[in-house]
Amino acid sequence: MQSDVFPNADPPQPADNSRRSFMKQAGGALGLALAPPLVGQAERLTAYAKVIEGATDITLRVNGQARPVRVEPRVSLLDALREHLDLTGTKKGCDHGQCGACTVHVDGRRILSCLTLAVMSQGKEITTIEGLAQGEQLHPMQEAFLKHDGFQCGYCTPGQIMSAVACVQEGHATTDAQCREWMSGNLCRCGAYPNILAAVREVAGKG
């Protein structure tokens, strides 16, 4: 689905782990149609698997640190980060893979943490917005968002920045249209899109 904020995109089809890809794979997804509308995606995914009860001790590697955490198998990576590890920079918007607010990097690729189970993230390098800066030195994308006023309320901003960093690294920000398309999975209720685009394009140009 194309964002109405990035209206001029000529849509190539992203092949990443984005909301669009997920919805396609779920495809048709009779399951989606039949599933209760207010159930989180990670919980919905496990609803079809055999029921495994009880919390499990796992270790997540987040922002370069090993973080032990005890979670039930149904817990999403998003909830593990926010509710168990107090990393609340990653936001919960829709909890259904449709807004991009929960975007983090796993092994260098952007993923939607609301669609990812915490137990499946063991042994992987997870980076959240809290891990982007180097000490007091902001990441160039954070600097660019500040410079171009790429946020208003700021709720979508962590997800936007994580997606933007990946978008540039993927080589998907070489034109305005391409950037709009590959950032279209990140929604902003405040409509900060022109400024977000300016920030991403500036960093892409520097790269």
Binding site for ligand FES (CB under 6 A): 92-95, 97-102, 112, 114, 151-157, 188-190, 192
* Residue 61 C-alpha from the chain's centroid: 17
For 32, counting Cβ atoms within 10 Å of its Cβ (0-12 exposed, 13-18 middle, 19+ buried), the class is middle
Smallest distance, ligand FES to C-beta of residue 2, A: 16
What does each C-alpha distance from 174 to 16, 167, 200 come to in angstroms? 17, 10, 10
Residue 24 or residue 189: which is nearer to ligand FES going by CB? 189
Residue 75 or residue 188: which is nearer to ligand FES going by CB? 188
Smallest distance, ligand FES to C-beta of residue 90, A: 9
Residue 103 or residue 178: which is nearer to ligand FES going by CB? 103
Smallest distance, ligand FES to C-beta of residue 158, A: 10
Q: Take residue 80 and report the two structure tokens written for it.
A: 């593990």
Smallest distance, ligand FES to C-beta of residue 51, A: 24
Nearest to 158 by CA among 207, 93, 205: 93
Smallest distance, ligand FES to C-beta of residue 41, A: 8
Q: How far apart are CA 188 and CA 160, in angstroms?
A: 9
**Tally of CA atoms within 13 A in the half-sphere of 47 that contains its CB:** 12
Residue 17 or residue 174: which is nearer to ligand FES going by CB? 17
Smallest distance, ligand FES to C-beta of residue 54, A: 26
Residue 56 or residue 155: which is nearer to ligand FES going by CB? 155
Residue 3 or residue 174: which is nearer to ligand FES going by CB? 3
**Tally of CA atoms within 13 A in the half-sphere of 136 that contains its CB:** 0
For residue 170, how many other CB atoms are within 10 A of its CB? 14
DSSP-assigned beta bridge partners for residue 117: 76
Residue 126: enclosing H or E segment and its boundaries?
strand 125-127
